[in-house]
Amino acid sequence: MRQRDLGQTGLKVSVLGFGASPLGGEFGAIDESEGIRSVHRAIDLGINFFDTAPFYGRTRSETVLGQALEGRRHEVVLATKVGRYGKTEFDFSPKTIIAGLEASLNRLKTDHVDVIYVHDIEFGDLALILNETIPALMKAKAQGKIGAVGVSGLPLAILQEAVLGADLDLILSYCHYHLADQSLMDNLAPLVRSKGMGLINAAPLAMGLLTQPGPPAWHPAPDAMKQACREAAEYCTQQGFDLADVALDFATRLDSVDSTVVGMSTVVEVDRNVAAIGISVDPMILVAIEEILAPVRGMTWSSGKAS
């Protein structure tokens, strides 16, 4: 598994990262023992970058990941988040996020996290986040509890505002670089790179849209996008391919991001996704998928206060 520098943090992360929101049951029921095995399998296959949040399964993801990493914490670059605690529960005040960080460290059974993101900043007051939340996290960084500080969110414009407004270590963008949307590359990626920050592309399967079983019921994409992705999945099945393999290979070919983080909770998914990196897909198949997805290219959905 190749690794890349995570911006200028001095950390090195695997090109494929392990997204732990499925470990919290966000995509359906999970078997925790199998989830723990999937974490071990991922480490054994060279994945060293793990992403969780207190929001995922309302702390369950962190708890399961913390159990899985007992004795193996030193082998991984561990990222979690602060500020989002429920579907509509956000609190970006310094007092809450520092208390939240301590609670996360406890669940993750560690004395520090390598990366912390302010979670889904489009739901907060950006001035508060830039002037109070991030400085409080920088202080925790100086105390050694955090290795790097970043923000995450869906709307690319607000991530750009954060890049321009704070001296961040990295940015996590999701659902904006995959087979049906590459808008991450328009403005945000060049800006982040010009500042020397790290860049993470999360959700290369568009939160399940680009899989054979399809997305969970809560998926916020417009129906047209769901339908086009379903057609792409059916087309791949007819051609003897799995759309998820094609999507994973497509996303991990991007060198402008430091890691592509995919959600997983089973050993089969880990094996499958690691094997998908670098598969050779017939260019004609890629062209056909592109044509199916063309009508919904760049389609997104609203997230946060301003949208």
For residue 146, count CB atoms less than 10 angstroms from its CB and return exposed for 0-12, middle for 13-18, buried for 19 or more: buried
Residues annotated as catalytic (active site), given as ranges: 56
For residues 147 and 266, what is the distance between their CA atoms, to the nearest angstrom?
Answer: 28
Binding mask 281-300 for ligand NAD (x = CB under 6 A): --------------------
Report the residue number, 41 or 119, with the smaller CB distance to ligand NAD.
Answer: 119
262 is a site residue for ligand NAD (CB under 6 A)? yes
List of residues 6+ apart from 95 with CB closer than 8 A = none
Report the residue number, 142 or 209, with the smaller CB distance to ligand NAD.
Answer: 209
Binding mask 30-69 for ligand NAD (x = CB under 6 A): ---------------------x------------------
**For residues 105-134, which are near ligand NAD according to CB under 6 A?**
117, 119-120
How does 210-236 read in b/e, with b if 16+ C-beta sit within 10 Å? bbeeebeeebebeeebbebbbebbebb
100 is a site residue for ligand NAD (CB under 6 A)? no
- Continuous segment of H or E residues that includes residue 12: strand 12-14
Three-state DSSP class for 69? coil
**For residues 221-250, which are near ligand NAD according to CB under 6 A?**
244
Report the residue number, 107 or 119, with the smaller CB distance to ligand NAD.
Answer: 119
For residues 189 and 171, what is the distance between their CA atoms, to the nearest angstrom?
Answer: 10
Amino acid at 245: D
Q: Work out which of 27, 90, 92, 241 binds ligand NAD, going by CB under 6 A.
A: 27
Q: Which stretch binds ligand NAD (CB under 6 A): 90-98, 182-190, 261-269, 281-289?
A: 261-269
Which single residue is written with the structure tokens 């950006």? 126
| Tokens at 55, concatenated | 């929001």
Phi first, then psi: give them for residue 10, nearest 5 degrees: 85, -5
Give the CA angle between residues 87, 93, 97 to the nearest 5°: 70
Q: Work out which of 76, 168, 202, 236 binds ligand NAD, going by CB under 6 A.
A: 202
Q: Work out which of 263, 289, 292, 300 binds ligand NAD, going by CB under 6 A.
A: 263
Report the residue number, 11 or 206, with the smaller CB distance to ligand NAD.
Answer: 206
Report the residue number, 136 or 276, with the smaller CB distance to ligand NAD.
Answer: 276
Residues that bind ligand NAD (CB under 6 A): 19-22, 27, 51, 117, 119-120, 152, 172, 174, 202-208, 211, 244, 261-265, 269, 272-273
